[in-house]
Amino acid sequence: MLTYNQMVVDQWDDEGRVDHLFHALADATRRDILRRSVQGDLSVSRLAEAYPMSFAAVQKHVAVLERAGLVTKQRRGREQLVHTDPDAVRRAREALDHLESTWRARVDQMDLVLAGDAIAEEHTRAGHEKGQEE
């Protein structure tokens, strides 16, 4: 997991986003905004109607998502439309897959180490038996 973290951190640190990304995804409202903005046809005002909070509060959530690179805002007439960035979400999903594969790789290697032990023991035992015969 460390390795995975290190690599992910390295990767994201280049863009200065790792903290922002974690922070952005830590909130249920923001995750919901992310879901609703997949089509990219909702303005901040429309989004704000969906939550029992002020327009300013929703605007703040959108700003956090924007800073994390998870959404972009596009101006259309007088409105700002919020659009979830598929690349950012995909990258996050890949990171989770990576965490799992890190552990799977470790487990595979544990197996090799244990298999190596078993073979070595077999040799030692065979060696002993041979020694005893002589």
Partner 1 sequence: MSITSLDKDYDNLALRIVLDFAHPLDAVWQLWADPRKLERWWGPPTYPATVEEHDLTPGGTVTYFMTGPEGDTHRGYLNVTEVIEGKSIEMIDGFAHDDGTPNAELPTTTMSVHLYDHDGGTRVEMQSTFDSREQMDQLVAMGMVEGIQEAAGQMDGILAT
For partner 1, give the closer residue by CB, 87 or 133.
Answer: 87
For partner 1, give the closer residue by CB, 23 or 46.
Answer: 23
Rounded to 5°, angle at Cα 113 from 112 and 115 = 60
For partner 1, give the closer residue by CB, 2 or 56.
Answer: 2
Q: Report how far residue 84's alpha carbon sits from residue 82's, in angstroms, rounded to the nearest whole number.
A: 7
Q: Which residues bind partner 1 (CB under 8 A)?
A: 1-3, 5-6, 9, 19, 21-23, 25-27, 30-31, 34-35, 38, 84, 86, 89-90, 92-93, 95-96, 99-100, 102-107, 109-114, 117-118
For the beta sheet containing 71-76, the strands, ordered from the edge strand earlier in sequence to the opposite edge, are: 42-43, 79-84, 71-76
Q: Report how far residue 92's alpha carbon sits from residue 26's, in angstroms, rounded to the nearest whole number.
A: 13
Q: How far is the CB of 57 from partner 1 (least distance, A)?
A: 18
